[in-house]
Chain A
Amino acid sequence: MSIELRPSPHLHSGRDVPTIMRHVVYALFPVCAFSIWQYGLSALALIVTVTLSCLAAERIANRMSGTVNTLSDWSATITGVLLALTLPPAFPLWMGAVAGFAAIWLGKSLFGGLGHNPFNPALVGRAFVQAAFPTAITTWAPAFAPQRFSEFIPSSLTLPFMVPNDISAWVAANMVDGFTGATPLARWKFEHFVYPVEDMITGAASASSGETSALLLLVCGLYLIARKFMDWRIPVAVVGSAMIMAWGFQLYDAETYPPMHLALLSGGLMLGALFMATDMATSPVTPMGVWVYGALIGVLTILIRYFGGLTEGVMYAILVGNAAAPLIDKYLQPKVFGARKK
């Protein structure tokens, strides 16, 4: 008989990184399914392409750096799925693949892999393609097009390195009531059109693949929170502070600033608050820090939307939050038990 010598503790909760990540992927399944139901083949192909390109990028990075295979920790899968969900459904697939590689290489591998990355890789990927393909990323397709399960949106199948195929003819052919090719936030900004709440909750508004149904996102987020795979304080802080900001602006001038539901239910705020701001690796760890970080993102989102050039500010707000996270942690250390009051 042999005896082992190990330092205490001799027990462990049994949780590990892959389990957490896997459950995030599970929680994103319904969101993907809904997106596919809305946009059909194009959405499916986009999600698959982006995810596979992320996995390929991760594997290549593993090979090059000679580290262990990290596909099994599921984090590259999350990046891929999340990234796909932030792209417009008509996004050309080859550009989606570029986004996937950019996300993993620029957003993660460059810094040393999972846990060392300062920014959410999916957002890095999205920021990259936003800069590289500004037109494609703002070309929206109508949801529930009649032919969506039998044919692709023409731009999806654009040949690599080509300008996206024009989709205006297809949009005209697949015209759905009320589709204008602009997101709810853009329509407010340019036409002062108020989208009905119901449409935004159930996903009838045009937007990126995964941002349309606030309700579904909330349910999936609640699952993760209930299983303790997500820190509930972050989405609460983000949405809460955005709500207060939007409400304040409304009070101040209801003509210029959009109604609150527009601010909360559109532009990926829900997707960002629930699934991106909560990315563990890039958010603070201290109790106070988490609230400050969430509030910072919420406030910045509204400020960028109302005063910046971009109609959808969540992505940049989260990237700024990520950048600030180490500082926030540094200055908001937890209160030590029995610390003498100064």
Chain B
Amino acid sequence: MDVIVEEILVKGKGGREKGNPPGREGRAEGAGWTSPFSLLSSLFSKKDFARGIHPASYKGGLDQPIRRMPFPRKLVLPLAQHIGKPATPLVAVGQEVLRGQPIASANGPLSVPIHAPADGVVEAIALQPSARGAWTESIVLRVFEASVQEMGWSQPLDIDALDHAQLIAAIQASGLVGLGGAAFPSHAKFDVPAQHSVHTLIVNGCECEPYLTCDYKLMREWPQDLIAGTRIAMRASGAQRAVIGVEDNKLDALEAIRPHLPADGSITLQAVATKYPQGAEKMLIKSLLGLDVPAGGLPVQLGIVVNNVGTLALLGRLLPQGQGLIERVVTLAGPGIKRPGDYWIPLGTTLRSILDWAGNPECGEREVILGGPMMGQAASSLDIPVTKGTSGILVFDKRMLEPITQHSWACIHCSECVNACPMGLNPSQLGMLAGKLEFDEMAQQYHLGDCFECGCCTYVCPSHIPLVQQFRAAKAFLRERKPL
């Protein structure tokens, strides 16, 4: 363990000296003729991981600021918007609530509270459809027509005065979870188990999913909050330094952050290669620090905690005010969206009310995706609300779905999937075994458990074999069988 830490710190030092994005400080010194060399060396030292894919980015409207849309009439707030135990309601039907007021409390250490995203009255506490399934216990709010989009509820905190336990409790009370999509409670991530010690916080600014731009906009518009949140996260996790990793197609986001970096050099910026899935924890750690998280292991074993920029920007914004998470930035995009862009959307807003305002009614048969197109889930109903983990809402029309609905061929051993899999698996072989239902062999011989379902294999397969879909099914089968 110590060896690894040392290694990281040594590498980190090197990274700070010459790790600036290509074309910046690294090239400032020296006469004209040296630049080709530094250009070359910056090419070779490219921060990258092996394999992966380069899908078209489809990211549009990059100059537009984050906007707001009309307040919905009704909000549906599932009690389980995070990984862990559902929250416990604090309100009764018929009770009036204020925007920002806690309406459900955390139920145990791996749980977070829920706050009212608008002034309104509790209409029901009932089973409602959500992205998790048809029936999820939810609080339904009827929003007052005059509700303003300003925070009504606030208990400013002096963060520097809090001790570690109080800080973790304050983060839990903010209801914050990983906003990149995983929705893992943030305080639990910062509360590092005693047997590990964290030295580096990685701030994940790699929005590698096509279409999504919400993190990019947050970095550009809220760099101060991002840095404030990063410092809080460093304190909470015990990290001595933080590295903000951003893909090299968003260098302007890096430049927006740079002026706000603290003078002590504890937070550094690093551009990494633009490709999918650069935003996956293990890939980003590989790119930034050159370290392999052991198969089946967690970053914290190497003394690393990874957090998404969106999460930290909101942490920096909410915690000093003692406010809770009531809205998030969501990217609306795809051919079925008439008003694409990034919006602050109150949690609990249903897809139907968003699409009524932003959708394109002409788009016939369509698919509504929550999150990015590579790993996002298709919504089964328009009554599903936006929750803490919803980073995007994409509406695809029939044309977009065509390549996937075509018929498939047998595996032609083209090896594209093997050359794409960031985990170094052999999807071709796995797919063949899945076809024969040999799930045990998949897990024991071919590392099925290491597949994190990024979808690169399915994306590249010219035979249109639903590889990752089969792997998911195989994993589910093995999971369900295990207790027996």
Contact with B along A247-275 (1 / 0, CB 8 A): 00000000000000000000000000000
Chain A contact residues, CB within 8 Å of chain B: 1-17, 19-20, 68, 73, 112-116, 231, 280-287, 290, 325, 329, 333-340
B365 contact from A2, A9, A285, A336, Cβ within 8 A: A2
Per the CB 8 Å criterion, the residue count for chain B at the interface is 71
Residues of A near B282 (CB, < 8 A) are 337-338
B66 lies within 8 A of chain A by Cβ:
no
Of B103-111, B196-204, B212-220, B291-299, the one contacting chain A is B291-299
Known contacts A10-B394, A115-B412; is A339 also within 8 Å of B295 by CB? yes
Q: Which residue of B lies closest to A325 (CB)?
A: B413
Q: Which residue of A lies closest to B375 (CB)?
A: A8
B415 contact from A10, A11, A285, Cβ within 8 A: A285
Q: Which residue of B lies closest to A335 (CB)?
A: B424
Contact with A along B284-319 (1 / 0, CB 8 A): 001000001111110000000000000000000000
Contacting pair B460 A13 (CB below 8 A): yes
Known contacts A10-B367, A115-B410, A280-B413; is A336 also within 8 Å of B425 by CB? yes
Main secondary structure of the interface of A (DSSP, over half): loop
Residues of A near B46 (CB, < 8 A) are none
B426 contact from A16, A68, A73, A286, Cβ within 8 A: A286
Known contacts A5-B380, A8-B375, A334-B418; is A281 also within 8 Å of B459 by CB? no
B464 lies within 8 A of chain A by Cβ:
yes
| B402 CB, min distance to chain A CBs, angstroms | 9
Complex interface residues of chain B between 344 and 391 (CB less than 8 A to chain A): 361, 364-369, 373-382
Complex interface residues of chain B between 399 and 418 (CB less than 8 A to chain A): 400-401, 403-404, 406-407, 409-418
Residues of A near B193 (CB, < 8 A) are none
Contacting pair A337 B426 (CB below 8 A): no
Contacting pair B468 A9 (CB below 8 A): yes
Contacting pair A337 B409 (CB below 8 A): no
Central interface residue in A17, A73, A335, by most chain B CB within 10 Å: A17
Cα separation A340 to B447 with both chains bound (whole Å)? 13
Contacting pair A281 B413 (CB below 8 A): yes
Q: Which residue of A lies closest to B463 (CB)?
A: A17
Residues of A near B366 (CB, < 8 A) are 1-4
Residues of B near A20 (CB, < 8 A) are 412, 414, 462
Cα separation A283 to B429 with both chains bound (whole Å)? 13
Cα separation A281 to B414 with both chains bound (whole Å)? 7
B376 contact from A5, A8, A290, Cβ within 8 A: A8
Contacting pair A338 B462 (CB below 8 A): no
Cα separation A336 to B293 with both chains bound (whole Å)? 11
| A306 CB, min distance to chain B CBs, angstroms | 31
15 further A-B pairs in the complex, CB-CB below 8 A; given A2-B366, A8-B373? A3-B378, A9-B455, A11-B210, A11-B374, A13-B53, A16-B462, A73-B409, A112-B410, A114-B410, A285-B418, A290-B415, A334-B425, A337-B50, A337-B295, A338-B296
Cα separation A6 to B466 with both chains bound (whole Å)? 11
Q: Which residue of A lies closest to B365 (CB)?
A: A2
Cα separation A92 to B418 with both chains bound (whole Å)? 43
Residues of B near A287 (CB, < 8 A) are 418-419
Q: How many A-B pairs fall under 8 Å by CB?
A: 174
Cα separation A125 to B38 with both chains bound (whole Å)? 55
Contact with A along B8-19 (1 / 0, CB 8 A): 000000000000
| B464 CB, min distance to chain A CBs, angstroms | 6
| A94 CB, min distance to chain B CBs, angstroms | 31
Residues of A near B296 (CB, < 8 A) are 338
B68 lies within 8 A of chain A by Cβ:
no
Contacting pair A338 B418 (CB below 8 A): no
Contacting pair A5 B412 (CB below 8 A): no
Cα separation A338 to B301 with both chains bound (whole Å)? 13
Known contacts A1-B366, A9-B459, A10-B376; is A284 also within 8 Å of B423 by CB? no
Residues of B near A17 (CB, < 8 A) are 409, 412, 462-463
Q: Ordered nearest first, which 5 A-B pairs have the shortest CB separation?
A: A115-B410, A9-B455, A285-B415, A12-B403, A338-B295
B149 lies within 8 A of chain A by Cβ:
no
Cα separation A281 to B413 with both chains bound (whole Å)? 5
| A339 CB, min distance to chain B CBs, angstroms | 5
Q: Which residue of B lies closest to A329 (CB)?
A: B429
Complex interface residues of chain B between 231 and 278 (CB less than 8 A to chain A): none
Contacting pair B418 A4 (CB below 8 A): no
Q: Which residue of A lies closest to B458 (CB)?
A: A9
Contacting pair A1 B364 (CB below 8 A): yes
Residues of B near A13 (CB, < 8 A) are 53, 55, 459-460, 462
Cα separation A1 to B351 with both chains bound (whole Å)? 14
Q: List 29 A-B residue pairs with CB atoms under 8 Å apart, sorted by A's residue number.
A: A1-B361, A3-B365, A3-B381, A5-B378, A5-B380, A8-B375, A8-B376, A8-B377, A8-B453, A10-B369, A10-B378, A10-B396, A10-B400, A11-B55, A17-B463, A20-B414, A114-B412, A115-B411, A115-B463, A285-B426, A286-B418, A290-B415, A333-B446, A334-B418, A334-B424, A336-B447, A338-B293, A338-B295, A339-B295
Known contacts A114-B410, A335-B424; is A8 also within 8 Å of B374 by CB? yes
Residues of A near B7 (CB, < 8 A) are none
